[in-house]
Amino acid sequence: MDGATQQTAAGRRSRRRPSMADVAAMAGVSSQTVSRVANNRSNVEEETRQRVLSAMRVLGYRPNAAARALVTDQFRTLGLISFGLGNFGNARTVDSITRAAQRAGYTVNMLAIESQTEQAVHEAFGQLTMQAVDGIVLIEAQILDTPALRLPSGVPVVLADGDVSHRHPMVDTDQALGARLVTRHLLDLGHETVWHVAGPEDSYAARRRAESWHATLKEAGAPIPRMLFGDWSAASGYAAGRVLAEQPGVTAVFAANDQMALGVMRAFIQAGRRIPEDVSIAGFDDLDESAYFSPPLTTVRQDFDVLAERIVSLMLDQIRGGTAPSATAPIAPHLIIRESTAAPPD
């Protein structure tokens, strides 16, 4: 009986991951010295260090992240709330943020939300603050300043491409400029006006692109066609494209992202309209793939890396300094002209 108990205890003990104390015992030093070696402080004699290091190796020691974080009060992890990686623009953004964070020695803890409801954002936020993160990045969240959704304080937050908030630092792409560039480009080509397939109504980026398209047309005195809505997917672009392809007057379409532009192109081609001879199509994002569409897509290039760089540095400022950094100017995108746009047929 006693033997069995012993064995169980031994089993349990050996299953337990080794701690500093175990390493210390084996190396014949204090656990504090082990700590010094683990954090490679300079004030440890070389011979001692080697002894500790080899004890670590033998025991397979790994520092316990929880204990360390409890003392240092940091995890070197950023929380990230986004709408999932299905949307390529999102995926690119998240990719860039991950890399930027990594360069700063941080990893990224992801949480995807399905919908843009206050409820969903709030829940995600709650879950993430209970997670081991030092700060939270919110992508494309536009409903933060509603009274119902008060983001809990005490956690550094950075907003990217979302609604204006006076309570948190933000980073933004100049969506308006991008939309203006494409719209003008199409108008300058000689098109009487430009149709628009917008992103979902609850997306802030989509709204700003649409507003700017509208303003640009108005400035130019061009007629303003009714806007169509998609959900960023190629399928929704295709659906919108079919509607547009039935209207004979359509000669230029600006889709709010490249995926939808792809769908729009497909619909027109299927309807027997040539691009760009019969109709010009432009997108937004400039995915790596867009240059290989048939025809290659005229679009607006976003600099995801710069965006990510800024997000991370704003985050680190808050984590380290505690100061609220000033807002930075929005990042300017630029127009990439390819073969999907041309002068209208006469």
Partner DNA sequence: TCTCCACATGTTTACGCAAACACATGATCC
Partner DNA sequence: GGATCATGTGTTTGCGTAAACATGTGGAGA
Under the rule (CB under 7 A), what is the footprint of DNA?
16-17, 19-21, 28-33, 35-36, 38-39, 42-45, 47-49, 63-64, 67-68, 70-72
Q: Looking at beta carbons only, is 6 or 270 nearer to a second copy?
A: 270
Site string for a second copy, 130-169 (x = CB under 8 A): xxxx------------------xxxx--------------
- Determine, following the binding rule CB under 8 A, whether residue 204 of this chain makes contact with a second copy: no
Binding piece for a second copy, criterion CB under 8 A, among 27-35, 278-286, 293-301, 312-320 = 293-301
Q: Closest approach of Cβ 79 to a second copy, in Å?
A: 8
Of 293, 309, 331, 336, the one binding a second copy (CB under 8 A) is 293
Give the CA-trace dihedral at 227, 264, 184, 201, to 10 degrees. Answer: 40
d(CA 130, CA 126): 7
Strand order in the sheet with 228-229: 228-229, 195-198, 252-255, 280-282
- Determine, following the binding rule CB under 8 A, whether residue 88 of this chain makes contact with a second copy: yes
Q: Looking at beta carbons only, is 115 or 328 nearer to a second copy?
A: 115
- Determine, following the binding rule CB under 8 A, whether residue 305 of this chain makes contact with a second copy: no
Of 163, 296, 303, 344, the one binding a second copy (CB under 8 A) is 296
- Determine, following the binding rule CB under 8 A, whether residue 319 of this chain makes contact with a second copy: no
Which positions ≥6 away from 142 have C-beta within 8 Å? Answer: 116, 162, 163, 202, 203, 204, 207
Q: Closest approach of Cβ 78 to DNA, in Å?
A: 20
Of 9, 10, 58, 65, the one binding a second copy (CB under 8 A) is 65
Q: Looking at beta carbons only, is 85 or 222 nearer to a second copy?
A: 85
| DSSP state letters, 110-179 | EEE-SS--HHHHHHHHHHHHHSS-SEEEEES---TTSTT----TTS-EEEES----SSS-EE-B-HHHHH
d(CA 229, CA 234): 12
What does the block give as tokens for 7?
């064995």
CA-based end-to-end distance of the chain: 97
Q: Closest approach of Cβ 152 to DNA, in Å?
A: 14
To which H or E segment does residue 254 belong?
strand 252-255
| DSSP state letters, 44-92 | S-HHHHHHHHHHHHHHT----HHHHHHHH---SEEEEEES-SSSHHHHH
The binding site for a second copy (CB under 8 A) comprises: 17, 60, 62-67, 69-70, 73, 75-77, 79, 84-86, 88, 91-92, 94-95, 98-99, 102, 107-112, 127-133, 152-155, 233-235, 237-238, 259, 262-263, 265-266, 269, 288-289, 291-294, 296
